């Protein structure tokens, strides 16, 4: 286990000369000191787009598409790829074999019911490991498979022993763990740990868990088993990524993700969102181990394949993830991006965008644009005059950056030629007049 690295502020800014000059406490006062069992700086990703993701309403992956996605995920550097059970259909069986045959760096897992028939099929596919699952909540025991704990335990032992005898890695997970009886859970986890399971899994199958519950359950489990602990969270109530993070704090070792979070209902932690969270806690670990710039590519492949639009608010790659708008934000971000950014866009192959042509703009942001355009004769007073004009125009309709630039250049031009720049602002009372400048832009206004 890597030594704990505390304080994200320090991590994030360690290479940033500007920030090193700050009178900034080295340790953020609220960065809770990392628990001894924390794996926040030492976790593995089980990427389940090709299993959980296939359970997304829109998902239909051909073999070729699965291979394309598997390769793109391997490029990100995820530790494992989890595939749909070979027992689901004939093509699912063949797809497992095809992906095993790619020789990727990621280990290949398949996900099966706790049943010997499924286990035998899984072994035949040549995967590196098998994720076994069975429901233990009263709900599932009553309304799904109808089995009691004695039967579940007996079958689990048989299946795990068989898979291990074939030289494969094996995980045993319950389903709906947060609505299962605690003693039942700990009892079966302890049993399978003793017979040598590689990992046990906790699953919030219905998306009901909250972070402090997760912390308590994982911490308790950590004291009962020696093997690794995998966690699987659904996002029905908006806690999936936070629960995953908190589980790692409590000693979990593996987290399930999918591209854009696709899965049953509204899905599980998005690979990109989870890595954003972990980057804030241990930027070095994340950037050394994963190619976060490759996230966008696999998101595009998956989004196109399942016919969805990447959400406007998607982590990292959503089109507004690095857009700053309020005047007070824009001013500070131009002075030092760390003021309003905890993720450096360049680390993710993204760009920062500061929006200035709207009624919430501020003169510092406008001044910054003046400097970018090298209109060096314009003063702070000029920037303030122009900002007031932008706000006035933007009360009717927001200006795009090109329109702001036209205004800045026209003003600059007038100031340099006949000192009529204030007249420019007075005469400019509608968007149409600005647009007419715009159409003349190539003639007289370019700086």
Binding positions for its own copies, 254-273, rule CB under 8 A: 260-262, 264-267, 269-270, 273
Cα–Cα distances (Å) from 297 to 29, 73, 277, 304, 307, in that order, read: 37, 9, 19, 11, 15
Indicate the residue among 123 and 321 with the shorter CB distance to its own copies: 321
**84 Cβ contact partners less than 8 Å away, ≥ 6 residues apart:** 50, 51, 54, 92, 95, 96, 110, 111
Of the candidate residues 171, 358, 367, 421, the single one contacting its own copies (CB under 8 A): 358
Q: Choose, by CB under 8 A, the member of 14, 15, 32, 400 that binds its own copies.
A: 32
Within residues 121-180, the interface with its own copies by CB under 8 A covers 135, 138-140, 142-144, 176, 178-180
Question: 3-class DSSP state for residue 198?
Answer: coil
Binding piece for its own copies, criterion CB under 8 A, among 20-28, 71-79, 124-132, 289-297: 20-28
Q: What is the dihedral of CA 276, 277, 283, 285, to 10 degrees?
A: -100
Q: From 155, 156, 103, select the one nearest 126 (Cα to Cα).
A: 103
The answer to whether residue 348 forms part of the interface with its own copies (CB under 8 A) is no
User: Of residues 6, 9, 82, 251, which one binds its own copies by CB under 8 A?
Assistant: 9
Contacts of 364 (CB under 8 A, 6+ apart): 327, 330, 331, 334, 383
Shortest CB 28 distance to its own copies, Å: 6
399 neighbors 370 (Cβ within 8 angstroms)? no
Decide: is 216 part of the binding site for its own copies (CB under 8 A).
Answer: yes
Exposed/middle/buried for residue 447 (C-beta within 10 Å: 0-12, 13-18, 19+): exposed
Report the SS3 class of residue 197: coil
Residue 366 interacts with its own copies (CB under 8 A)? no
Residue nearer to its own copies on the CB measure, 55 or 161:
55
Tell me, yes or no, if 358 is annotated catalytic: no
Q: Is 17 in the site for its own copies (CB under 8 A)?
A: no
Among 42, 191, 237, 297, the residue binding its own copies under the rule CB under 8 A is: 237
Q: Which of 173, 281, 305, 413 binds its own copies (CB under 8 A)?
A: 281
Integer-rounded Cα Rg, in Å, for the chain is 27
- Write phi, then psi, for 134 (nearest 5 degrees): -150, 145
| Cα 9 from Cα 14, distance rounded (Å) | 8
**395 counts as binding its own copies under rule CB under 8 A:** yes
Query: Which of 103/312 has CB closer to its own copies?
Result: 312
Residue 252 tokens, joined: 């979990």
Q: What is the DSSP string of 109-153?
A: EEEEES-HHHHHHHHHTT-SEEEEEEE-SHHHHHHTS---HHHHH
From the CB of 110, what's the least distance to its own copies, in Å?
A: 13
- Among residues 283 and 410, whose Cβ is nearest to its own copies? 283
The interface with its own copies within residues 49-78 (CB under 8 A) comprises 54-58, 60
Question: Beta partners for 130?
Answer: 110, 170
At residue 255, the 3 state secondary structure works out as strand
Query: Could you say which of 14, 15, 20, 89 contacts its own copies (CB under 8 A)?
Result: 89
Spatial contact of 240 and 234, defined as CB atoms under 8 Å apart: yes
Examine residue 373 and tell whether it contacts its own copies (CB under 8 A).
no
**Which listed range, 97-105, 288-296, 355-363, 371-379, lies at the site for its own copies (CB under 8 A)?**
355-363
Select which of 111, 232, 324, 329 is catalytic. 329
Is residue 346 part of the contact set for its own copies (CB under 8 A)?
A: no
User: Is 284 a binder of its own copies (CB under 8 A)?
Assistant: no
Q: Does 243 bind its own copies (CB under 8 A)?
A: yes
Task: Tell which one of 2, 182, 195, 429 touches its own copies (CB under 8 A).
Answer: 182
280 vs 441 by CB, closer to its own copies: 280
Active site residues: 329
């Amino acid at each position: 286990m890597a030594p704990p690295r505390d304080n994200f502020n320090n991590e994030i800014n360690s290479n940033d000369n500007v920030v090193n000059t700050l009178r900034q406490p080295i340790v953020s006062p609220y960065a809770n000191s990392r628990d001894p069992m924390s794996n926040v700086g030492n976790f593995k990703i089980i990427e389940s787009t090709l299993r959980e993701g296939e359970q997304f309403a829109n998902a239909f992956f051909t073999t070729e598409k699965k291979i394309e996605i598997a390769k793109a995920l391997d490029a990100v550097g995820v530790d494992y790829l989890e595939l749909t059970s070979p027992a689901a259909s004939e093509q699912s069986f063949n797809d497992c074999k095809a992906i095993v045959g790619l020789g990727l760096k990621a280990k290949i897992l398949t996900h099966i019911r706790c049943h010997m028939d499924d286990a035998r099929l899984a072994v035949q596919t040549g995967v590196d490991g098998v994720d076994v699952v069975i429901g233990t909540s009263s709900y599932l025991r009553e309304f799904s498979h109808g089995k009691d704990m004695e039967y579940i335990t007996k079958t689990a032992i048989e299946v795990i022993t068989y898979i291990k005898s074939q030289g494969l890695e094996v995980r045993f997970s319950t389903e709906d763990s947060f609505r299962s009886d605690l003693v039942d859970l700990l009892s079966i986890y302890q049993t399978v740990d003793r017979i040598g399971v590689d990992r046990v899994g906790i699953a919030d199958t219905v998306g009901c868990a909250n972070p402090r519950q997760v912390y308590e359950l994982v911490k308790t489990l950590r004291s009962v088993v020696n093997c690794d602990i995998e966690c699987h969270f659904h996002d029905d109530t908006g806690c999936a990524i936070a629960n995953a993070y908190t589980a790692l704090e409590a000693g979990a070792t593996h987290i399930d993700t999918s591209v854009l979070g696709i899965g049953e209902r509204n899905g599980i932690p998005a690979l990109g969102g989870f890595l954003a969270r972990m980057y804030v806690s241990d930027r070095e670990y994340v950037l050394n181990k994963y190619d976060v710039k490759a996230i966008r590519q696999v998101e595009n492949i998956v989004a196109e394949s399942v016919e969805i639009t990447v959400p406007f608010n998607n982590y990292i790659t959503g089109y507004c993830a690095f857009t700053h708008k309020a005047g007070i934000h824009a001013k500070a971000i131009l002075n030092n991006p760390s003021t309003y950014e905890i993720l450096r866009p360049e680390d993710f192959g993204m760009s920062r965008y500061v929006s200035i042509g709207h009624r919430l703009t501020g003169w510092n942001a406008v001044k910054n644009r003046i400097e970018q355009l090298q209109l060096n004769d314009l003063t702070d007073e000029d920037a303030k005059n122009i900002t007031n004009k932008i706000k006035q125009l933007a009360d009717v309709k927001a200006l795009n950056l090109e329109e702001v630039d036209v205004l800045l250049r026209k003003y600059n031009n007038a100031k340099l030629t006949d000192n009529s720049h204030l007249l420019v602002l007075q005469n400019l009372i509608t968007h149409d007049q600005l647009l007419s400048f715009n159409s003349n832009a190539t003639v007289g206004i370019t700086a």
